[in-house]
């Protein structure tokens, strides 16, 4: 397997709005991120993924871009961005920008211009305008954020397609001029010194030529009803090959594509180095295991066997050819300690266990801000305290249209709202958790007095110190990056164990996903394994007789 810097890298995701507010308006900003670079360096991360910072009306907090060449007012200026970029580089770290290609804001100049009907309006074809069907929407497609995926516009006298919010019209990638605009935009940022791109929702770029109705989504279908008609559309690989040729191949950069609704086989097609498309993928399948038949708002119990099967399938399918991003948290997902772990008695143990399990797999680990101190979900009583467009739409549709009660809908929101992960970073126990001098744009989690960076740094047994140790291990042992994956104890309902092999070295990872003790027996190796790291005081136990405590994780090395 080819060795490259980005396979060895650990990536830290910053959600700029909630990281650190330097100018006292309650909203995080670029200067605030710059203030905290030493903190990130100390943790040991290599790449900083900056959520979208472009000019935006913030319907979807930056994922609705109105100008790709300017910085959002609340976040600062282009000078601030340049300064942040050079300060990241000065510390030997790299910067990843979030690139949004599937849609723009409805306030983008292209969309505004596209409204004028007429054959000689070149922007008309940048989006999907449609006259509709018998006085209504062109078809029955629903948007990911609820309601129809079509909205009528008076001025344009037509409907436009929006797979996400109504303020995020989808772009038409069959238009060559649009593609060239996007390639120029990407080169603009690369010329400024950007080292990596996270490409937002890019397996949706190709839309089917016909607007046929969608069948209702099935149990294994976690996209909105139209998702399966759109994901991985015909010709999508040609687009990435072209993008690679026009942009990626010209810079010493790496790409990670965010793709929901992709199987491991498809994931390999996108990332197989020989095909020259994308370097790596962030897939969703393992995060969807607790989604019910009704989709992501319906929560069913977490099944470790189902989770293990998915992880193993992806590890084995891409082995030696493709590459993945490893993650359990991001700005779209609830916090994993609250979701599948234990955010009370075993918060620290379960946070460390999840980190061990995910980071020792093959791929590049992603750490989402606050994960490194074991931040948890939030439970606001009042829907007015939520900010996320997806959550607010869901609440309105469920209460007003489907007639469900406030209490019932709030239970779904507590489980799955994206705002669980978007509350301000908890720096210390001062007012507003040290995030801002002003009232934050979204409330801080009341547990900040206990769970915060200052406490975590001061306590050698904290989640933070464990994360730093995991990152150090990665730098020390190549087997963690390049070792071949093999699942162990595949049928076990509560323990996830696997091994990684590189040359004469074998890494064994054993993790207990339950709050109960578990006893397991692994094959005894010819030489005595060394315990590299554990989230409990070390137990001198042979591999064939492992007594795991609640949420215990162990990493062994055999040479
Ligand atoms: O997410 C794409 C995506 O697939 C989402 O629909 C995801 O499934 C959803 O957020 C789960 O609730 C990306 C961004 O990460 C997300 O924040 C944006 O809202 C979305 O694209 C639109 O740009």
Question: Which residues form the catalytic set?
Answer: 200, 258
Minimum-distance ligand 1 atom for the alpha carbon of 418: 12
CATH fold of 484-558 reads: Immunoglobulin-like (2.60.40)
3-state DSSP assignment of residue 247: coil
Per-residue pLDDT for 385 more than 50?
yes
List 221's β-bridge partners, or say none.
none
Supply the residue whose CA is at minimum distance from atom 6 of ligand 1. 144
**CA 16: distance to chain centroid?**
14
Handedness of CA 227, 13, 255, 194 (dihedral sign): positive
When pLDDT is cut at 50, 70 and 90, the band that residue 219 belongs to is very low
By CB neighbour count within 10 A (0-12 exposed, 13-18 middle, 19+ buried), where does 319 fall? Answer: middle
Q: How far apart are CA 497 and CA 353, in angstroms?
A: 12
Q: How far is the CA of 329 from the centre of ligand 1 (A)?
A: 13
Supply the residue whose CA is at minimum distance from atom 2 of ligand 1. 201
When pLDDT is cut at 50, 70 and 90, the band that residue 220 belongs to is very low
Per-residue pLDDT for 524 more than 70?
yes
Per-residue pLDDT for 304 more than 70?
yes
**Could you tell me which CATH class the domain 109-161 is placed in?**
alpha beta
Which of 149, 161, 200 has most ligand 1 atoms within 8 Å of CB, for mutation?
200
Please choose, from the candidates 13, 2, 18, 14, the residue with its C-alpha nearest in 3D space to the C-alpha of residue 442.
18
- The CATH architecture annotation of domain 5-103+177-468 reads Alpha-Beta Barrel (3.20)
Per-residue pLDDT for 82 more than 60?
yes
Domain ranges of the chain: 5-103+177-468, 109-161, 484-558
Please choose, from the candidates 87, 154, 81, 143, the residue with its C-alpha nearest in 3D space to the C-alpha of residue 116.
154
**pTM, two decimal places:** 0.97
Per-residue pLDDT for 256 more than 70?
yes
Q: How far is the CA of 201 from the centre of ligand 1 (A)?
A: 7
Minimum-distance ligand 1 atom for the alpha carbon of 259: 4
Q: How far is the CA of 535 from the centre of ligand 1 (A)?
A: 33
Task: Give the residues surrounding ligand 1 with Cβ less than 6 Å away.
Answer: 60, 63, 100, 144, 164, 200-201, 258, 260, 296, 331-332, 390, 418
Q: How far is the CA of 556 from the centre of ligand 1 (A)?
A: 37
Q: How far apart are CA 552 and CA 488, in angstroms?
A: 16
Minimum-distance ligand 1 atom for the alpha carbon of 222: 8
ipTM higher than the 0.85 cut: yes
């Amino acid at each position: 397997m080819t060795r490259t810097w980005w396979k060895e890298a650990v990536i830290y995701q910053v959600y700029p709005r909630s990281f650190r507010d330097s100018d006292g308006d309650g909203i995080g900003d670029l200067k605030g991120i710059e203030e905290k670079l030493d903190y990130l360096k100390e943790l040991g991360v290599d790449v900083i993924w900056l959520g979208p910072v472009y000019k935006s009306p913030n319907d979807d907090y930056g994922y609705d871009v109105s100008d790709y060449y300017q910085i959002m007012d609340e976040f600062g200026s282009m000078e601030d961005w340049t300064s942040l970029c050079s300060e990241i580089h000065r510390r030997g770290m790299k910067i990843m920008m979030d690139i949004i290609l599937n849609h723009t804001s409805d306030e983008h100049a292209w969309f505004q211009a596209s409204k004028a009907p007429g054959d000689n309006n070149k922007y008309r074809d940048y989006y999907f305008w449609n006259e509709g069907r018998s006085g209504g929407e062109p078809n029955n497609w629903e948007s990911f954020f609820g309601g129809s995926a079509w909205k009528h516009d008076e001025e344009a006298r037509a409907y436009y397609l929006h797979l996400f919010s109504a303020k995020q019209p989808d772009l038409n990638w069959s238009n060559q001029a649009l593609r060239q605009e996007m390639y120029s935009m990407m080169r603009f940022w690369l010329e400024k010194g950007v080292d990596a791109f996270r490409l937002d929702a890019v397996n949706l770029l190709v839309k089917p030529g016909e607007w046929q109705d969608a069948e209702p989504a099935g149990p294994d279908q976690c996209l909105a009803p139209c998702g399966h008609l759109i994901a991985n559309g015909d010709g999508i690989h040609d687009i990435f090959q072209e993008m690679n040729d026009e942009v990626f191949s010209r810079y010493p950069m790496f790409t990670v594509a965010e793709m929901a609704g992709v199987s491991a086989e498809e994931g390999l097609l996108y990332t197989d180095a020989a095909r020259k498309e994308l370097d790596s993928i962030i897939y969703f399948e393992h995060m969807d295991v607790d989604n019910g038949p009704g989709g992501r708002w319906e929560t069913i119990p977490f099944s470790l066997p189902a989770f293990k099967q998915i992880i193993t399938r992806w590890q084995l399918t891409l082995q030696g050819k493709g590459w993945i991003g490893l993650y359990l948290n991001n700005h779209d997902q609830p916090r994993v300690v609250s979701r599948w772990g234990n955010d009370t008695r075993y918060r620290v143990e379960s946070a460390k266990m999840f980190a061990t399990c995910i980071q020792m797999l093959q791929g590049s680990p992603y750490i989402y801000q606050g994960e490194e101190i074991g931040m948890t979900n939030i439970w606001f009583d009042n829907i007015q305290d939520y900010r996320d467009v997806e959550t607010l739409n869901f609440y309105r549709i469920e209460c007003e249209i489907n007639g469900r009660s406030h209490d019932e809908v709030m239970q779904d929101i507590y489980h799955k709202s994206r705002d669980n992960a978007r509350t301000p970073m908890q720096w210390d126990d001062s007012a507003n958790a040290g995030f801002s001098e002003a009232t934050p744009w979204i409330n801080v989690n009341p547990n900040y007095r206990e769970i915060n960076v200052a406490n975590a740094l001061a306590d050698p047994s904290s989640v933070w110190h464990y994360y730093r140790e995991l990152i150090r291990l990665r730098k020390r042992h190549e087997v963690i990056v390049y070792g071949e994956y093999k699942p162990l104890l595949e049928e076990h309902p509560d323990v996830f164990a696997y091994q990684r092999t590189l040359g004469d070295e074998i890494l064994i990872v054993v993790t207990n996903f339950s709050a109960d003790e578990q006893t397991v027996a692994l094959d005894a190796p010819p030489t005595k394994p060394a315990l590299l790291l554990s989230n409990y005081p070390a137990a001198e136990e042979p591999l064939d007789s492992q007594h795991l405590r609640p949420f215990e994780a162990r990493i062994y090395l055999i040479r």
